[in-house]
């Protein structure tokens, strides 16, 4: 099987497993796990930020961050396609009791104009806007990358208005290997960043939440309340640390593979269009919406697994368990169906 359903399906390599098996561990709820501590300081240093917190998933890092930044009844400005709104089980409402201002369009991204327009005035009728949340790359936007100039404009506006700025950077490293921006300069625009280790970076478990010391101290408390305090977590954190140290630059290969798929798909008579490929996500728009599931099944019969991504849409995600040879095989399969 060539599995394009998600970049979460990767399995740890021998080298990563060795790092996990030999990891030094301790009780992380007592902050005594040396490997978790190393991962947290490595991630914080890499981003030029003060501190980090290892969590079990990207949903957990996002939900913890939202809970620390936002009071019940407060409002979050985000895109309607964002993971924090669409794919976290209603967690914004359930965990924090917050309101959302949902912005449409622009492949899942916000603009300065959106934020300026929808920050609420100081008037008792309105919820108090308490957070702006961006997603880079945007999953629903087909792996779209932010223009850093726009992020800087949004960051400056948020600082002027004492509004924290959160980044759902589940696939941030996919953006960073393409955008040419210095990672510390990029991170300085945000109050908190969530980074998934278990997507393109290839670790089996976990995400890190990165921010200021005081923010991470509060986040550690919320993580415990959410049931996310883990004990000898160094075993899994070692996989994350290995991923951060070894698997960033190679993301460019996944992007090359994605562009090869894009080119091949654009040539097929059943494909109407492909969302322009920025990173490792390829979204094909079909001529005939009703054929979507038939096409997915035909590919599966030929060992190519892909995912439905909404009406008339099929998503392919490239990752480190898909080789160049398998991309060639996949192109043969999609041409043959």
Ligand X SMILES: *Cc1c(COP(=O)(O)O)cnc(C)c1O
Closest approach, Cβ 182 to ligand X, in A, equals 23
- 247 is a contact residue toward ligand X (CB under 6 A): no
- Intra-chain end-to-end CA distance of the chain, in Å: 17
Rounded least distance, CB 87 to ligand X, Å: 7
Q: Please pick, from the candidates 170, 203, 284, 314, the single residue that binds ligand X as defined by CB under 6 A.
A: 170
Distance from CA of residue 170 to its chain's centroid? 2
Chain positions 138 to 157 lying near ligand X, rule: CB under 6 A, are 139
Which residue matches tokens 């959160």?
Answer: 166
C-alpha span between 183 and 239 (Å, rounded): 22
Q: 24: closest CA among 12, 6, 36, 10?
A: 36
Q: With CB under 6 A, what is the number of residues at the site for ligand X?
A: 12
Q: CB nearer to ligand X: give 196 or 331.
A: 196
Element at 292 (helix H, strand E): helix 292-301
Nearer to ligand X, 78 or 99 (CB): 78
Minimal distance in Å, beta carbon 85 to ligand X?
10
67 binds ligand X (CB under 6 A): no
Query: Of 56-64, 92-100, 112-120, 264-272, which segment contacts ligand X by CB under 6 A?
Result: 56-64
Q: Assess 57 for contact with ligand X (CB under 6 A).
A: yes
Phi, psi angle pair for 242, to nearest 5°: -60, -45
CB of 213 to ligand X, least distance (A): 24
Rounded Cα distance, 316 and 158, in Å = 35
Residue 113 CA to residue 264 CA, distance in Å, equals: 36
Three-state SS for 79? strand
Q: Does 192 bind ligand X (CB under 6 A)?
A: no
Which span sits near ligand X by CB under 6 A: 55-63, 180-188, 225-233, 290-298? 55-63
Q: How many CA atoms lie within 13 A of 186 on its CB side?
A: 22
- Indicate the residue among 83 and 218 with the shorter CB distance to ligand X: 83
Strand-pair partners of 103:
79
Q: Where are the beta strands (DSSP E) in 136-248?
A: 165-169, 192-196, 207-211
**What x-and-dash track marks residues 196-225 binding ligand X by CB under 6 A?**
x--x-------x------------------
Pairing of strands 281-286, 313-317: antiparallel
**Position 114 contacts ligand X (CB under 6 A):** no
Nearest distance in Å: CB 57, ligand X? 3
Query: What's the rounded Cα separation, in Å, for the pair 216 and 233?
Result: 18
| Residue 189 engages ligand X in binding (rule: CB under 6 A) | no
Q: Which residues bind ligand X (CB under 6 A)?
A: 57-59, 62, 83, 135, 139, 168, 170, 196, 199, 207
């Amino acid at each position: 099987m060539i599995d394009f359903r998600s970049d979460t399906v990767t399995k740890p390599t021998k080298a990563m497993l060795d790092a996990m098996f030999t990891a030094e561990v301790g009780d992380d709820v007592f902050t005594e796990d040396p490997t978790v501590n190393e991962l947290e300081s490595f991630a914080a240093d890499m981003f030029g930020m003060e501190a980090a917190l290892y969590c079990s998933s990207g949903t957990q890092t996002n939900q913890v961050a939202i809970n620390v930044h936002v009071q019940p009844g407060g409002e979050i400005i985000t895109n309607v396609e964002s993971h924090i709104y669409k794919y976290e089980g209603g967690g914004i409402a359930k965990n924090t009791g917050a309101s959302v201002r949902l912005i449409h369009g622009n492949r899942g991204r916000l603009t300065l104009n959106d934020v300026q327009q929808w920050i609420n005035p100081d008037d008792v009728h309105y919820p108090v806007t308490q957070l702006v949340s961006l997603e880079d790359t945007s999953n629903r936007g087909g792996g779209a990358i932010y223009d850093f100039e726009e992020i800087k404009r949004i960051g400056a506006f948020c600082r002027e208005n004492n509004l924290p700025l959160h980044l759902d950077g589940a696939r941030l490293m996919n953006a960073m290997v393409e955008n040419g921006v210095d990672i510390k300069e990029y991170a300085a625009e945000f109050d908190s960043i969530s980074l998934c280790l278990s997507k393109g970076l290839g670790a089996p478990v976990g995400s890190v939440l990165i921010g200021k010391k005081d923010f991470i101290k509060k986040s550690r408390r919320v993580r415990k309340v959410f049931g996310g305090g883990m004990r000898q977590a160094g075993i899994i954190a070692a996989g994350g640390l290995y991923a951060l140290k070894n698997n960033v630059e190679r993301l460019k290969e996944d992007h090359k593979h994605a562009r090869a798929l894009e080119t091949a798909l654009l040539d097929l008579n059943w494909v109407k269009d492909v969302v322009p490929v920025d990173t490792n996500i390829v979204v094909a728009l079909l001529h005939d919406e009703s054929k979507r599931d038939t096409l997915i099944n035909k590919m599966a019969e030929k060992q190519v697994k892909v995912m439905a991504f909404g009406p008339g849409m099929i998503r392919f995600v490239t990752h480190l368990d898909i080789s160049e040879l398998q991309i060639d095989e996949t192109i043969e399969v999609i041409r043959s169906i």
